[in-house]
Amino acid sequence: MRVVDEKAIDGKFPAVGETIDVLVVGAGDAGCQAAREAAAGGASVVLADENPLDPALMGLDVPLAFGGRMDGAVQNRERMTERLVLARPALAEAYEAGIDVRLGTTIWGIFPESAESRALAGLTVGLEDGRRCWMARARRVVLATGARDLMLGFAGCDRPGVIGARALDALLHRYQAFAGRRLLVLGSGSEGLRVAIAAHRAGVTVAGIVEPGAQAEGPAELVAEVAELGLALLTRYVLVEAAGNAEGVTSARLAALDDEGRVLAGGEREVGCDTICLAIAAVPAIELAAAAGAALRFEGTLGGHVPVLDEAGRTSVGGLEMVGAAAGVPADHPAAPDAWPYPERWLAALIASGGLEVPCCRCESVTRADVLGVRPPAYLEARSGPIAARDLGRLLADGPPNQDQVKRLTRSGMGECQGRRCREQTALLLARGAGVAPGRIPLASYRAPVRPLPLALLADDAETEAMRAGWDAWFGIPTQWTPWWDIGTERDGLGRDAGLGDTWHL
Amino acid sequence: MDETKGAAVVIVGGGVTGLSAAWWLARAGVEVLVLESGIVGWEASGRNGGGCTHYYSPLFQEEQRLWPQMDRLLGYPTEYRRFRVGVALNPGQMVRYDTVAGHAARLGFHSTRLDAKELRELAPPVSEAAVGGVFSHFGGHANPQRTVQAYAWAVQDLGGRILQNCAVTGIEVGGGRVRGVATTRGRFGCEALVVAAGPRTSALLAPLGIDVPLTPARAEMIVTAPLPAMALGGVDGNGLYGRQTLRGNLAYGGGPHEWLDPDGAWPPRRPTTPLLRNLARRLVELFPKAGHVRVLRSWAGVIENTPDGRPVIDRLAEPANLTVATMSSVGFGLSPASGKAVAQLVQDGRCHFADLSSLRLERFANLPRDWRERRGWVPPEPADGVAVG
């Protein structure tokens, strides 16, 4: 007869709320296509998309860097849903194909069965729709979660109006809710040129496209299109500061660069704008796959860390697949596998113009200098003494660079945006500080929930009786809390009966 | 090459217990070398609730004496803060706190009962349903991640060496003594060896015919976004352990664990599960006014337990220069004292400040072979699953 530890996890999870045959996460082009293909193959398909987003999350720059530049329309969920459906004809097609399309539904975690999580079966998926949270079991999950924006710091980057290209695209086209009028674009690769053209066509004034290099990074046809439209390409310039007031950015201060990437004295210029759009690189949105334990690799020409996929798009986690931009966003130019040249050049240019005392992690007020100095957070008031000498160089003498370790010590990436605004900058800084390629910096861990969700929403309202009855603050080993003077006496192991242990583990 | 130079004392395991032992030895002028298979404090030592209040342990009084001094002694911040508050959501829990208070009082540590009003003054987000609580004028909490790094840096400042990414593959014994260890980075000789390798302790010592009965398990925690600081961070209850950090985040754990295969791979995978929802529920029950606060992360740690859940801190009879230390899943808070005890065992063969006779390995000499199965300390039967893929 098998004995089961009554305080162990065995048998305590509730039955899942629903069983899904094929779950597709993300209703962009790749997701809609994957859903249609699965449905055509006879599967029962759920297509979940977190849009329209919770405006409170948008305010936190989750999942994209909206920079506070959404207008009041985003508060109206029904209106946003209508616009979303209008903006994406593929959604209507999916409805018609019998696909269960769920808008406003976020997948915040995928928990696979494994040798270390045997209490789970198959793929357990966490869903929420803003009102409730529930678990489902899926036979197959296709992640089509797209990409987010690489964010880099500069003076004033915490002002409203500093936005990412993917976020701007969403506000312009998905939501028609962009509150800006005059835009400066950072980056002249495909991302930057495309977003500049799209913004111009949407009636936004494009004040310029900033490029630290001597020529545009993107392909000739896009460069030509930009020129035709009369948009200013500001080569050999970099941002110094986003100037502004309480309402946000009012202008961008730029510095001219020489052939070596050094700031030219007297070469400053000011460009009036209410929005500064970072369009340097798109970063695949891998957080669900990473938190689920899927194997990943660094590939700078695909936008950083991407899933390891077989020829059928399957990850290393059984039943979990990835498609579209989430599996990689091709760069404009080839490069060594560990390198990420265009973001590296931008960071170098921003350091040349703005130095190190500018924000890296905005949530936790960590500067670039704090990361390189491995400084504890300012509120600890512990920056003098021996800790002042414990910088990145000293840390590297003990082992290769590790972003999670630096995150623990500096808090860079620990904040409410879940590191979306600083994760890549921190990694690039560590690579720079260590003198290694960005691909040599191990990916900082992603954790469920991959969206910052309120406690009350996540709280399990379907807790089983077994969970409640078998709950203990710690292991519930009767002898663990026996006071040492009672060990070996008849009172040994009576801790629980005497009212100890199951409620307090200190 | 300097790296393969041994030391008077080699310590296997750069967790909080091994690092503290190294630090105490280095303070005493002993040449130490810590061998860590990964990064210091990367496993359970850096993933726990940070509690420093172990009233039942023979190391308790030293734990209490040392923690308030640790920032100064180490030279680096640990974020240690004094005192604890236990919240009782029902009268039965008050009885339990009274029992704890009774134990601590026996050792000269004072506790005060709090009524519901006093409790909420100290901790405003606490549930209106709370019947009261206990204020421990002892104990406290610290930041595990900062503390493990503080130990490691302090060891180095005293001339001790720490070698990370160095896995021990064998222990060399000759003439009844440990002579050195074989590692992935060469051989290191030593005059004395400490094994404080967490769940790996069993596998490292088994080839010597030494059976340290341990079973690893996985436990989970969650952390929220910051909220305004309570008067005291060390507030818990409702089956949760944890703290409000100095930054303001609520970091709490508790609830069921998953037993793991003792022969599983190292370093372990540490998946989290939907248990984070149960933790969220318990936390909202404890702090209903924090229901709007966002959960930022969940994580898991792997800890080991002995059959009675109590530590092994023991210098063995043979090899006579081998000291074993596992804290049986409760190691962080006790670390200032546990490391000191280990250091004294290594140097003098006995602990001068506490009676560790109940923590000897020999208590498990007659353990039945199927002790894990008898307790149900085995991985779950695979749940009824649907076919995947």
Structure tokens at A69: 């530049």
Q: Write b or e for each residue in A216-227: b if 16 or more Cβ atoms lie within 10 A of its Cβ, otherwise e.
A: bbbeeebbebbe
Residue B94 sits in the same domain as residue B133: yes
Q: Which of B89, B97, B98 is nearest to B130 (CA)?
A: B89
B271·A504 Cβ contact <8 A: no
Last residue of a domain, one of B305, B325, B340: B305
Confidence check: pLDDT of B385 > 50:
no
Looking at residue A431, its pLDDT comes to 98
pLDDT at B2: 45
CA pair distance A126, A111, nearest whole angstrom: 8
> What band does A17 get if pLDDT is binned at 50, 70 and 90?
confident
**Is residue B382 included in any domain, yes or no?**
no
Minimal Cα distance from A409: which residue of B?
Answer: B146
Banded pLDDT at B3 (limits 50, 70, 90)? very low
Is there a domain that residue B373 lies in?
no
Answer whether residue B305 shows pLDDT above 70.
yes
User: CA angle B346-B16-A375, nearest 5°?
Assistant: 130
> Does residue A48 register a pLDDT over 60?
yes
Q: Structure tokens of B171?
A: 């222990």
Q: Answer yes or no: do B152 and B295 share one domain.
A: no
Q: How does pLDDT run across A159-207, given as a tens digit for each residue?
A: 999 999 999 999 999 999 999 999 999 999 999 999 999 999 999 999 9
A285 pLDDT higher than 80: yes
- Do residues B272 and B226 both lie within one domain? yes
Claim to verify: residue B168 and residue B231 sit in the same structural domain: no
Q: Give the count of domains, chain B.
A: 2
Domain final position from B260, B283, B305: B305
Give A95-130 pLDDT, tens digit per residue.
Answer: 999 999 999 999 999 999 999 999 999 999 999 999
User: Do B166 and B277 share a domain, yes or no?
Assistant: no
Averaged pLDDT, A260-281: 96
How far apart (Å, rounded) are the C-alpha atoms in residues A342 and A322? 25
Domain with B59, as residue range(s), is 2-64+144-214+307-368
b/e for A268-304, b at 16 or more Cβ within 10 A?
eeebebbbbbbbbbbbbbbbbbbbbbbebebbbbbbb
Q: What residue ranges define each of the domains in chain A, with the CATH number in brackets?
A: 18-144+283-327 (3.50.50.60), 149-281 (3.50.50.60), 356-437 (1.10.10), 469-501 (no CATH)
The verdict on B160 and B56 lying in the same domain is: yes
Q: Do B299 and B312 share a structural domain?
A: no
Q: Residue A493 pLDDT > 90, yes or no?
A: no
**Element at A454 (helix H, strand E):** strand A453-454
Q: What is the pLDDT of residues A454-475, one digit of tens each?
A: 999 999 888 899 999 999 999 9
Mean of the pLDDT values across residues A32-42? 97
Quick check: is B374 in a domain? no
Has residue B256 got a pLDDT over 80? yes
- Mention every residue, 6+ apart, whose C-beta is less than 8 A from residue A165: A149, A185, A187, A191, A192, A194, A195, A277, A278, A279, A282
- B342 domain-assigned: yes
For residue A310, the one-letter residue type is D
Residues B22 and B153 in one domain: yes
Distances (CA, A) of A287 to A102, A306, A323, A444, B311: 20, 10, 14, 11, 38
Same domain, B221 and B101: yes
Checking if the pLDDT of B249 tops 70, the result is yes
Please tell me whether residues B8 and B129 are part of one structural domain. no
User: Is residue A163 within 8 Å of residue A66, measured between CB atoms?
Assistant: yes
Q: In CATH, what number is assigned to the domain containing residue B222? A: 3.30.9.10
Percentage of chain B beyond pLDDT 90 is 94
Contact list in B for residue A488 (CB cut-off 8 A) is 358
Instruction: Give yes or no: residues B233 and B316 share one domain.
Output: no
Of B238, B355, B383, the CB nearest to A120: B383
**Quick one: pLDDT band at residue A497, thresholds 50, 70, 90?**
low
Q: Using one digit for the tens of pLDDT, what is the confidence trace for A121-155?
A: 999 999 999 999 999 999 999 999 999 999 999 99
Confirm whether B100 is domain-assigned: yes
> Is A402's CB within 8 Å of B39's CB?
yes
Run of H or E residues at A142: strand A133-143
Contact A460 B281 (CB under 8 A): yes
B286 in any annotated domain? yes
pLDDT score of B4? 72
**How high is the pLDDT of residue B92?**
87
Q: Per-residue pLDDT averaged across B282-287, rounded?
A: 96
CA A467, A468, A474, A476 torsion-angle sign: negative
pLDDT at B1 over 50: no
* Residue A280 near residue A166 (C-beta atoms within 8 A): no
Q: Does B51 reach chain A within 8 Å, measured CB to CB?
A: yes
Using N-to-C axis directions, what is the helix angle for A77-87 and A89-96, rounded to 10°? Answer: 90
Separation in Å, CA A262 to CA A345, A431, A474, B47: 12, 20, 57, 44
State the average pLDDT over residues A211-234.
98
Out of B287, B305, B323, a domain closes at: B305
Mean pLDDT (chain B) is 95
Residue B384 has pLDDT above 80, yes or no: no
Per the document, the length of chain B is 389
Condensed to tens digits (0 to 9), the pLDDT of residues B90-106 reads 998 898 899 889 999 99
Residues B134 and B235 in one domain: yes
Would B311 be classed as within a structural domain? yes
Contact B293 A137 (CB under 8 A): no
- Classify residue B388: in a domain, yes or no: no
Q: Between chains, do A500 and B99 touch, taking CB under 8 Å as contact?
A: yes
B 276-315 near A (Cβ less than 8 A): 276-278, 280-284, 290-299, 305, 308-310
Please report the residues numbered 101 through 120 in chain A whose beta carbons come closer than 8 angstroms to any beta carbon of chain B.
Answer: 109, 111-120
Per-residue model confidence (pLDDT) at position B389: 35
Query: Would you state the pLDDT for residue B387?
Result: 40
